[in-house]
Structure 1
Amino acid sequence: MMKRLKSRLSSIVIAICLPVIVVADPIVGVWKTEPDRKSLISHIKITACGDKFCGRILSAYDASGKEVQTPNIGKKLFWDVVGEGGGKYGGGEFWVPLINVDAVPQMTLQGDKLLVKGCEHAICAHQTWSRL
C-alpha cells in the first residue's frame, strides 16, 4: 500500500511540474519575423500549449514599421511543437499563410535568434526570428 501511495504521489508531482518546465522553456516569448513576400513583419507569441508549444500571430507591420491589420492576426501559426533537446524543436504543424499550406516545422534556438524552417514534402522555406 505504501508503494502504491509513493507511486501516485510521484505521478502527481510529475504532472504538476511538467507544465512548469514547458512554461519556463527559453522558446516561450514574443518573436519578430523577417519580412515575408508582402514585406510584412509579424510578431509571433510562442506559449506552452499543454506539454507542447504553439505560436500565434500577435501583430503585423509594414516596411516602415506601421502596424497593419490583416485577417491572419490572432491565428495559430504553429501547434503541437515539442522540445527535442539541445535548442531544437520539431513535430506538430506549421501553417504558411502566404500559400495557405501546412508544413512540418523545425526550429533551432540560438540565444535570441530562432531559426525556423517549414517543409512540405521536398519544398522548404526558412526564416530567422529575433526575440523581442
Structure 2
Amino acid sequence: MKLRTWIAAALIAAPGFALAGEPIEGNWKTASGATAAIAKCGGSFCITLKSGKHAGKQIGKLDGSGADYTGSITDPEADKTYSGAGTVNGNSLRMKGCMLAVLCKSQTWTRL
C-alpha cells in the first residue's frame, strides 16, 4: 500500500505531468453566470458561450500553453473585441480584456 501511494504522489508531482489536454480546456462559469466552453480550434483555443443570452457565440480565441494564454476577447453585450489574456490557477481562470493596453477589465471564471 505504501508503494502505491508513493508512486501516485510521484506521478502527480512530476514536472510536465498533465491529466488531460491543456489546463484551459473545459467548461467555465463566467462572471455573468453563463457557461463558456474552451476547446482547441486549429492551433488556438476558442471560447464559445454555451448558455445565457448569447449562447452559441464565439467570444474569444487564445494562444498559449500551461497557465498563460493571450489573444482576443469579445464582450458579447457590446459586441466589441479587445486584446485579451487568460491565466489558469487550478479551477480559476482570470480573464482580462484591454483597450489600448491601458484600459483593462478583469473577471474570474470558475471551472465546472
Q: TM-score, normalised by structure 1?
A: 0.65
Name the residue aligned to 2:85: 106
2:41 partner amino acid:
C
Q: Report the Cα offset of residue 45 of structure 1.
A: 0.2
Name the residue aligned to 2:45: 53
2:24 partner amino acid:
I
What SS class does the counterpart of residue 34 from structure 2 fall into? Answer: strand
Name the residue aligned to 2:63: 82
Name the residue aligned to 1:130: 110
Distance, in Å, in 2 between the alignment partners of 1:100 and 1:75 is: 10
Aligned partners of 2:59 and 2:75 also within 8 Å: yes
Unaligned segments of structure 2, at least 5 residues: 1-19
Bigger Rg, structure 1 or 2: 1
1:75 partner amino acid:
K
Q: Report the Cα offset of residue 98 of structure 1.
A: 2.3
Distance, in Å, in 1 between the alignment partners of 2:57 and 2:31 is: 18
Name the residue aligned to 2:15: none
Distance, in Å, in 2 between the alignment partners of 1:51 and 1:84 is: 11
Distance, in Å, in 2 between the alignment partners of 1:96 and 1:111 is: 24
Output aligned runs, 1:26-65, within 5 Å: 26-35=23-32, 41-60=33-52
Q: Report the Cα offset of residue 84 of structure 1.
A: 5.0
Distance, in Å, in 2 between the alignment partners of 1:129 and 1:96 is: 15
Output aligned runs, 1:61-76, within 5 Å: 70=53, 72-76=54-58
Compute the RMSD of aligned alpha carbons: 1.7
Unaligned segments of structure 1, at least 5 residues: 1-22, 36-40, 61-69
Query: What percentage of aligned pairs have identical amino acids?
Result: 34
1:59 partner amino acid:
S
Residues matched between the structures, number: 93
Distance, in Å, in 2 between the alignment partners of 1:54 and 1:94 is: 10
Q: Report the Cα offset of residue 94 of structure 1.
A: 1.0
Q: TM-score, normalised by structure 2?
A: 0.76
